[in-house]
Structure 1
């Protein structure tokens, strides 16, 4: 067995792993990047990019169907499922190609293929072909879909998002389990592309939404497009000759059985740490067998081991994985001089229609921090000027501020242009702006962002800082 001694070993070549590699290489050229699967990040290969490609096709179909709102009547809309999936895969492969180009530019001596396992705190064995002895180690092994046992009864008709993008054609029907980010995005996209969809959840949650007012509004809106039960009582899942028969309790009909071509499991993801033999180290593990770590340094305890990206199950988003990889790699490279890195204001976007966005602290976190001394501002987009002009006037934005200081703390939104509005709000939160300072910023007319001003004005009034809110203020323009 080949033996190799390095300063830094990085396990996993995804977004976090590559970020760690680049950061660690600034400190040493004696390092290795170990990858046990395909090169190409989760985002590029089976996550952000292919899902957005499918959503783009669905949005196009939906816009054509909604043309009559404007007096525009297109001919019958025909969805070519094969063409849809051909474009999804073609563009997906292009994005993956960019990642592969980056990998290929790394020195070959820095790359090692195979699954790594810990022998002890400093030694890794890679596929029984190499032993790597590392002074410092970064674990960046990502995550994989988590599939409940009940769904496995769908057998060969059970798919996860990794599989969906390999479809050559769109099926007639799909049962989606899990109304989280993946389930909502893919479920709505498939529905708008002509697939019969029913979405099942457990516990009542809906995406990342924590504000009950927004959750109720979003649930009502989605339910107009396809059946969605966020707290479903599913009795059985069974593979049949016709597909997959699902028996569930329908509120008005009792037990109902429907058959679908496929079951899509969007039931969360599990950190890839359970096959690392991490128990062979001296690290302190939590009840799931994952190492305890400091989210500002990514250091596991006071050890030489760091964990970044989806592997630590902290904030499984690409921009967070990139930040964590950079922090972990830098600290592994400079160890034992470990430093806290910049953790940005929390920001998450769900690319449904309307979009969902969460910024800064959740309403529960605001309540905890302020001990109840906070206020909320709200705006509905149903009468907001620009939103009505473009017939995208479904939505609700709620913003949170601290009483006394007037500081803006966070927001949740279900509405148009949330992907853009959430960035403005996140920047404001990271700059620790007060609501009054945010209101001093320019707002053009007519734009959707004027709805943000309306919500902030309501919040400032509720904080006992601003004046009474004037209904239909003409200073803002009609519908401002």
Structure 2
């Protein structure tokens, strides 16, 4: 039986970070991956393919807008299948970086097949081989939640894991769930000329986002697709002509909707029910997420968990950060703690939605009313005016001393030009410090600068300071 200093179960973003980091430090490492190649959900079903599709859809959308603006003529129908070929090409290109042989060259023993615990130190790989790990990292990711809707399974549906394998272009698409995945894919599909309807059980979109930003993104999306809030899907079936029938209840009224296909985007569940955790004593929540300490150790101290199997931040960049913490702790025996305080996220709709730290509502609940809020609408920023992309908002929340506790934005490519404030918050800079940074003119980042300028405007033109300044000027003259 082969023995390892560290076994990584799952070859997604976090698992690959751990495997590469531990091997480079001299540890004897095994990586178990259920698919033919590592890469995980992000590469095969999530970040990479969805962003490739979103980018292709944006090009189609911009072509139409440009034609309208400059009296050009656009003919033909956007080819979804051609876009999906571009998606596959992007996956194939990035796959080279995550190739199993590349990790073997690093000294990692890669096992292809499902792995399951036999006890808290032994893992059996599909096919029969069992290996021993002094320490083990669980990084098995997540999969789509399929709601128990009558007739859904029999009628058929697609998810974010199968949409990129479509061999036809549906004319009408019904999306169940208006979360991040649902909205990103819904808008992309609508831009290829598909009639898209999104159903959401909640009364509002994007409940985790700052309330003031939501109307901007909702208004933008409703120009391209139909959003049904307070809507519950009751039943799904198939008509004789092949149409898929969805029976929904909205605000007490029952409606029938006919479509060609159904995209289920009602959340994700952790892949912890198929790895033999009952043989380890590792504890999970009712939803199947693994419980860990701030050091990312489970209650079995030699077993760690990262990525989507945790409930904290189900993002690739968060899994990568967790992976670095685990390398320090599992390989060197350190006690580093994971810190999500400065972890941002982006919703890649158009316009994009950026989120960092507390919303205004959360800040008032946790800090109190003594907070400061600095806001700039994008129609006040010259570059956005020049681009004719003025729909959006930047919002920065600080404590009374100017320390950043939250930052939010909705606007064209907000995920890029808001990175400056991630750095500022992470390193403890106050909002006023950004005002001193020289920003090239005209850039989109000026939106952040204008928000930070408000800090000094408030300082200099309110309270006792203006009076003192007037006295000083009179004295100086």
Could you say if the C-alpha distance between residues 245 and 103 of structure 1 is closer, same or farther in structure 2, counting changes exceeding 3 Å?
Answer: farther
Could you say if the C-alpha distance between residues 383 and 249 of structure 1 is closer, same or farther in structure 2, counting changes exceeding 3 Å?
Answer: farther
**Displacement of 1:344 after TM fit?**
6.7
Residue 282 of structure 2 corresponds to residue 288 of structure 1:
no
The whole-number CA distance in structure 1 between the counterparts of 2:424 and 2:413 is 17
Residue segments in structure 2 that go unaligned for 5+ positions in a row? 463-477
Which residue of the partner structure matches residue 304 of structure 2?
306
Work out whether residues 50 and 88 of structure 1, in 8 Å CA contact, stay in contact via their aligned partners in 2: yes
SS in 2 for 1:66: helix
The whole-number CA distance in structure 1 between the counterparts of 2:175 and 2:199 is 6
**Displacement of 1:259 after TM fit?**
1.1
The whole-number CA distance in structure 2 between the counterparts of 1:466 and 1:96 is 54
User: How far does the alpha carbon of each residue in 1:364-418 deviate from its partner, in whole angstroms, 9 at most, with x for none?
Assistant: 4422441232121212223532212212111122210111x11122111111220
Work out whether residues 237 and 246 of structure 1, in 8 Å CA contact, stay in contact via their aligned partners in 2: yes
Aligned 1:317-396 pairs, distance under 5 A: 317-335=315-333, 337-340=334-337, 345-396=342-393
Could you say if the C-alpha distance between residues 399 and 152 of structure 1 is closer, same or farther in structure 2, counting changes exceeding 3 Å?
Answer: farther
Work out whether residues 150 and 236 of structure 1, in 8 Å CA contact, stay in contact via their aligned partners in 2: yes
Could you say if the C-alpha distance between residues 444 and 159 of structure 1 is closer, same or farther in structure 2, counting changes exceeding 3 Å?
Answer: same
Say which of 423, 443, 454 aligns to 1:447.
443
Work out whether residues 184 and 352 of structure 1, in 8 Å CA contact, stay in contact via their aligned partners in 2: yes
Residue 397 of structure 2 corresponds to residue 400 of structure 1:
yes
SS in 2 for 1:382: helix
TM-score, normalisation: structure 2: 0.89
CA RMSD of aligned residues (A): 2.5
Which residue of the partner structure matches residue 428 of structure 2?
432
Say which of 398, 404, 409 aligns to 2:405.
409
**Displacement of 1:67 after TM fit?**
1.5
Could you say if the C-alpha distance between residues 230 and 108 of structure 1 is closer, same or farther in structure 2, counting changes exceeding 3 Å?
Answer: farther
TM-score, normalisation: structure 1: 0.88
Residue 15 of structure 2 corresponds to residue 17 of structure 1:
yes
**Displacement of 1:431 after TM fit?**
1.6
Work out whether residues 10 and 32 of structure 1, in 8 Å CA contact, stay in contact via their aligned partners in 2: yes
The whole-number CA distance in structure 2 between the counterparts of 1:458 and 1:44 is 41
SS in 2 for 1:162: coil
User: How far does the alpha carbon of each residue in 1:131-186 deviate from its partner, in whole angstroms, 9 at most, with x for none?
Assistant: 22221111011111111111761535311111011113322111111211111111
Could you say if the C-alpha distance between residues 460 and 173 of structure 1 is closer, same or farther in structure 2, counting changes exceeding 3 Å?
Answer: farther
Could you say if the C-alpha distance between residues 132 and 338 of structure 1 is closer, same or farther in structure 2, counting changes exceeding 3 Å?
Answer: farther
Residue 234 of structure 2 corresponds to residue 238 of structure 1:
no
Work out whether residues 209 and 412 of structure 1, in 8 Å CA contact, stay in contact via their aligned partners in 2: no
Q: Bigger shift: 147-156 or 184-193?
A: 147-156
Residue 192 of structure 2 corresponds to residue 193 of structure 1:
yes
**Displacement of 1:342 after TM fit?**
6.4
Work out whether residues 352 and 415 of structure 2, in 8 Å CA contact, stay in contact via their aligned partners in 1: yes
User: How far does the alpha carbon of each residue in 1:199-225 deviate from its partner, in whole angstroms, 9 at most, with x for none?
Assistant: 111223534742112113322231222
**Displacement of 1:75 after TM fit?**
2.9
**Displacement of 1:77 after TM fit?**
4.9
Which residue of the partner structure matches residue 154 of structure 2?
155
The whole-number CA distance in structure 1 between the counterparts of 2:410 and 2:108 is 48
The whole-number CA distance in structure 1 between the counterparts of 2:141 and 2:226 is 32
Work out whether residues 244 and 259 of structure 2, in 8 Å CA contact, stay in contact via their aligned partners in 1: yes
The whole-number CA distance in structure 1 between the counterparts of 2:265 and 2:203 is 15
Could you say if the C-alpha distance between residues 119 and 205 of structure 1 is closer, same or farther in structure 2, counting changes exceeding 3 Å?
Answer: farther
**Displacement of 1:341 after TM fit?**
5.5
Which residue of the partner structure matches residue 415 of structure 2?
419
Aligned 1:102-117 pairs, distance under 5 A: 103=102, 105-106=104-105, 110-117=109-116
